[in-house]
Amino acid sequence: MRELAAGALFAGVVTVMIFLPESKRPWAALAGAALALAAGLVEPSRLPEHLNLDVLGLIAGACVISAYLTESGLMDELAQRSLRWSKGDLRRLTWSLAMVSGVVSLFIENVTTLIMLAPMVFSVARALKVDAVPMLLAAAFASNLGGAALLVGDPQSALAAGYFNLDFGDFLFHAGKPSIFWMVLTALIASTTAFTYTFVKGKFNLPSESKEKRSIRDKKLAYVSLTALAIKILLLALRKQLGIGLSLPAFIGASIILLYTRDVKFAIKSIEWKLLAFLAGMFVLVGALQDSGTMRLVAESFTKLASCDYYKLTALIVAASVAVSAVVDNVPYLMAMFPIISKISSHCGIYYFKLLLALLIGATLGGNITYFGSSTNITAVHLLEEEGYSVRFRDFLKYGAYYTAWALGSALALYYALWR
């Protein structure tokens, strides 16, 4: 009975989130957590364990570093360099901006990255009288992919690192084999190239002033922020050897910037407090699934369907992840799936990291099919509509499915070649 109640509560909260604006989702998560506690679905003694403060601290510190990287004007400089590199070729510009979006999203929050690139996309589109929709969506899709590649990117990576005790290096190489970074990078290059070649074409006159224009507003702040980021990455890479958690490197990096700027108010304002509240609520809901035994039942269902066959299991995990992430934010889905991956690994004797890679590929690369499952895609549609572009659902589906097919195909080809 507790298994059914916990599962129903989790599914109900996630369903409600689909119909809520992003700003209201933290309240739904917190309300669900309160219900789980009131109904006795979470063991009170395990609440501190479920509320993973180490992961929340990592994300808070990352928000501060990302905000100052953006404030320095570094993103604007990269966009200007893309414009100059394009040499007046619209396809080349779109590809370059998308790749910048994907790479920068390794370190800066996805929505922020997209918002900073959008003005250039709209400016070029207006000057040439061409459709800005595929141009901006290419940047949004790439941003969603790039954020999942490293530990310093999206919350999804931090959640995986926190649950499975991974460090920065595990996202590059694990057990002597290339890890998720290389699969995401392969997908990013393949899907962005195919997308821009198919949906974008045209030439434009490069503004003469852009050849000399520089956009970094504060060079010292840019250097300090990049140094803080480098130190954070180094500490995350060595955290197992140093015996430290995930949050300490992020706080050290943020502290380095604060020693230079002495602007505590800006740092506090830059933290995504709603994101932290959302994650805290989801931690408790996922804890209810664990404490009630729901995770065990779901894991048993997976193993029955696939009979512990590695290829069947990973294909099932990828397919389920793509289907769910197409319509639902993948954060709650991943949080619910991590314990299931552990149980399947233990039951079937399959190394957990193989299953984790399949989960991350499906959940992060499959989130571009519709705009429901990604705040970045929702933001892209909103920005386009503000500029007077109509983005019908079927049109977005065409673009998203095409991009996702290339991303998944290339990433899975590398995954199965390396992790058989």
Convert the pLDDT of each residue in 384-415 to its tens digit.
988 888 888 889 999 999 999 999 999 999 99
Of 341, 346, 177, 164, give the one whose Cα is nearest residue 240: 164
Instruction: Compute the C-alpha angle 169/51/236, nearest 5°.
Output: 20
pLDDT digits (tens, 9 = 90+) for 170-185: 999 999 999 999 999 9
Whether 369 maps to a domain, the answer reads yes
According to the model, what pLDDT value does residue 331 have? 81
Is the confidence at residue 327, as pLDDT, over 80? Answer: no
Asked if pLDDT for residue 36 goes beyond 60, the answer is yes
The residue with tokens 């694990």 is 174
In-domain check, residue 152:
yes
pLDDT(164) > 90: yes
- Please report the pLDDT score of residue 206 as a whole number: 64
Determine, yes or no, domain membership for 18. no
Q: What would the pLDDT profile of 330-360 be if each residue is shown by its tens digit? A: 788 888 889 889 989 998 999 999 999 999 9
Q: What range defines the domain where residue 177 resides?
A: 131-208+293-420
Q: Interhelix angle for 310-325 vs 294-306, to 10°?
A: 120
Instruction: Judge whether 357 lies within some domain.
Output: yes
Nearest to 245, CA basis, from 162, 150, 168: 162
pLDDT digits (tens, 9 = 90+) for 203-223: 777 665 555 555 677 889 989
Average pLDDT for 118-132? 81
Number of domains in the chain: 1
Least confident of 188-197, 333-342, 370-379: 370-379
Mean pLDDT, rounded, for 56-81: 83
pLDDT given at position 212? 52
d(CA 110, CA 106): 9
Cβ atoms 306, 313 nearer than 8 A: yes
CA-CA distance, 407 to 91, in Å (whole number)?
Answer: 19
Long-range contacts of the stretch 342-347 (C-beta < 8 A, 24+): 343/295, 343/296, 343/299, 344/299, 344/302, 344/303, 344/313, 347/299, 347/300, 347/303, 347/308
Position 215 scores a pLDDT of 65
219 occurs within a structural domain:
no
Record the pTM.
Answer: 0.84
| Distances from the Cα of 84 to the Cα of 77, 96, 127, 188, 377, angstroms | 11, 10, 16, 22, 27
Task: Give the Cα separation of 103 and 143 in Å (integer).
Answer: 8
Q: Of 227, 243, 329, which Cα lies nearest the Cα of 278?
A: 329
Question: Does residue 238 lie within any of the structural domains?
Answer: no
Q: Residue 361: inside a domain, yes or no?
A: yes
Looking at residue 259, its pLDDT comes to: 93
In a domain, 45, yes or no: no
Residue 323 has pLDDT above 60, yes or no: yes
